Structure formats: structure tokens, C-alpha cells
Amino acid sequence: MAVFKLEKDHKKILIFDDTKEMSEFALNKWREIAQGAIKRYGRFTVALSGGKTPLPFYKSLVSYGKGLPWNKTHIFLVDERFVPHDDPDSNFGMINKTLFSKIDIPAVNIHPIYTDGTANDATEKYEEDIRNFFELKAGLIPQFDLIILGIGEDGHTASLFPNHEALSERWRLACAVSYPGAKYKRITLSLPVINNAKTIVYLATGSNKAPIINEIIEKRNTNLPVVLVKPNDGELYYLMDKYAASKINYRPENERGA
Ligand code: 6PG
């Protein structure tokens, strides 16, 4: 269970002793949201991030998610590196190896970002796939039930990087992103799509994330894409271990009253 819970400017911040407890909370939240969405809409839509942080959580979905309703769960990608899916850096490749290949989810319920052709072609194809799935008229934004995000040490999230023009996109569902210093082009859900989600869950672990977590939670540095993620009317969770939280002001519940 969380060693500390804090509601701060619309953020639900939960700090855990370790990754295992954090993954357990995230799994229960996933289960709760999935059951609610399926009861109401007959399906559960979720978008997953790449990177290393979500790995333990994706593994817990395999180990403890036997009873989850995979046949009614639709999984999209938050972002993708513009490399072949069998490239070691592919987000789809990582999530497929860690999760998709180990659960009983129908192939039609998996919605990758295809990375053939040009990055712009791939972005337009992804937007079309999203529009078709959500049966969206032009100009409308999909509402995912859940979006899982990571936090870069520079405050990026998805493939939305500091000071990048993609941060000002207001209409497109996805953007192709080139970023100085990035190894390859990326494709990402746009900020309006992310902010339209019913629930957004950030995952952050490790002391290397402590400085940026301080910038986000304590300083609320609005130059950071992470800080620009503010759900229109959804819930925003920050789940982190105590190492990533080591530079924010809180007192673990077991030290209260001391
Ligand atoms: C990606 C992710 C990216 C990631 C952060 C944190 O494609 O890499 O979408 O936004 O969440 O860079 O990465 P780590 O979890 O590896 O620290």
C-alpha cells in the first residue's frame, strides 16, 4: 500500500516503498477502470507508453491479470520510435514481448503505430485508425479510459519534448516529432488526446527521476510537458517509489506523529 497519499493541484500523488507495491496499485486501478468501462460501454480503451519504468507493471498484468477482460480491452500506443517493430528500441516490440505475447488478447484489440513509409504517413495512418475505432467525426478528439505515461529526466512525456512545437498542437490526434539529440523520429499522441483521457497514470521510479519530480510537483515548472498534462475532466495519478519522490516534501505515514 502507498506509504503516502497527497492531493495537490488536481494530482493524486501516491508514493510506494517499492516498484512491486506501485505495480500492485496500478493493476488494481487498471482492473477497476476496465470493469467500469466495460459495464458502461462494452469495451475498455487504454494507451501504453514505452521506456523502462512501465516494465514491472506490464509484467504484473501478465502474472496477476489472468481474469482481466482482455477480449474487451483495446490497447493503443502512446507513442512510438520510428523504427521497425523488431528493432530493440521499438515500443511496440517491447510491449509485444512483455505483454501482448503473454496474454489472451485478440490481435484486433491491439492498435500499434505502424512504422513503415514516412513518419508523416505513419502519423496519418495512426490518426485514421484512432478515428475509425472511436467512430469519430473530423475535428473530434477520442477519450481513452486510461493512459499510462512515463516521465523523462528532462520532463518529457510520451514523445512530447520541452519547447517542441508539438506541444502547441490543438487539433491533430497524433504528431510526428523530430527532436535534436533524439536517435530517431517519433510519433506521439497529441496533448489534446492525452488530456481528454478519463484517467491518466504517471509511473516514475528511481532516484534519477527525483530532480524532475521536484520540478513537477514542488515547482510546477510549466515549461515541462509533464506539467502540461492536465486532464480536462479526468483523474491524474502520479505513482512513484520513494526514491523518485525523495526530493518532494512529504512525510511517510509511518513517520507521522513522530
Ligand atoms: C518512450 C516513452 C517515454 C518514456 C520516458 C521515460 O517512448 O520512451 O514514451 O516518454 O515514458 O522517456 O522513460 P523511462 O521509463 O525509460 O525512464
Out of 14-18, 59-63, 70-74, 253-257, least confident range? 253-257
pLDDT at position 86? 97
Max CA pair span of the chain? 61
Average pLDDT over residues 164-173: 96
Half-sphere exposure of 147 (CA within 13 A, CB side): 28
> In the chain, what percentage of residues exceed pLDDT 70?
97
Q: What tens digit of pLDDT does each residue of 134-163 get?
A: 999 988 999 999 999 999 999 999 999 999
Residue 79 Cβ < 6 Å to ligand 1: yes
What are the Cα distances from residue 116, in Å, to 129, 184, 244? 15, 14, 36
Average pLDDT over residues 233-243: 96
pLDDT at position 254? 60
Examine the pLDDT at 60 and tell me if it is beyond 70. Answer: yes
Is there a contact between 209 and 241 (Cβ–Cβ < 8 Å)?
Answer: no
Q: Best mutation site among 79, 113, 167, 224 for ligand 1, i.e. most ligand atoms within 8 A of its Cβ? A: 79
pLDDT at position 168? 97
Sign of CA dihedral 97, 99, 103, 106: negative
Give the strands of the sheet with 79-81, arranged side by side.
Answer: 79-81, 186-189, 174-177
In the reported structure, the alpha carbon of residue 174 is separated from the centroid of ligand 1 by a whole-number distance in angstroms of 17
Residue 211 Cβ < 6 Å to ligand 1: no
pLDDT at position 142? 98
Residue 155 Cβ < 6 Å to ligand 1: no
Bridge partners of 148, per DSSP, are 201
Q: Best mutation site among 157, 228, 240, 241 for ligand 1, i.e. most ligand atoms within 8 A of its Cβ? A: 157
- CA 208 – CA 243 distance, rounded (Å): 8
Q: Which atom of ligand 1 is nearest to the CA of 209?
A: 17
When the pLDDT of each residue in the chain is averaged and rounded to a whole number, the result is: 94
In the reported structure, the alpha carbon of residue 92 is separated from the centroid of ligand 1 by a whole-number distance in angstroms of 13
* Cα 201 from chain centroid (whole Å): 6
Residue 152 Cβ < 6 Å to ligand 1: yes
Q: What is the amino acid identity at position 36? A: G
In the reported structure, the alpha carbon of residue 50 is separated from the centroid of ligand 1 by a whole-number distance in angstroms of 5
164 is written with which cell numbers? 517542441
Residue 52 Cβ < 6 Å to ligand 1: yes
Is there a contact between 15 and 252 (Cβ–Cβ < 8 Å)?
Answer: yes
Q: Grade residue 8 by pLDDT with cuts at 50, 70 and 90.
A: confident
Examine the pLDDT at 164 and tell me if it is beyond 70. Answer: yes
- CA 241 – CA 27 distance, rounded (Å): 15
What are the Cα distances from residue 36, in Å, to 28, 30, 39, 141, 145? 12, 10, 5, 21, 9
Single out the residue of 188, 92, 30 nearest to residue 100, CA to CA.
92
pLDDT at position 253? 60
Out of 5-14, 91-100, 233-242, least confident range? 5-14
Examine the pLDDT at 26 and tell me if it is beyond 60. Answer: yes
Strands 174-177, 186-189: parallel, antiparallel or unpaired by DSSP?
A: antiparallel
Single out the residue of 126, 96, 140, 143 nearest to residue 188, CA to CA.
126
In the reported structure, the alpha carbon of residue 41 is separated from the centroid of ligand 1 by a whole-number distance in angstroms of 30
pLDDT at position 180? 84
- CA 42 – CA 38 distance, rounded (Å): 4
In the reported structure, the alpha carbon of residue 52 is separated from the centroid of ligand 1 by a whole-number distance in angstroms of 7
In the reported structure, the alpha carbon of residue 204 is separated from the centroid of ligand 1 by a whole-number distance in angstroms of 10
Examine the pLDDT at 75 and tell me if it is beyond 70. Answer: yes
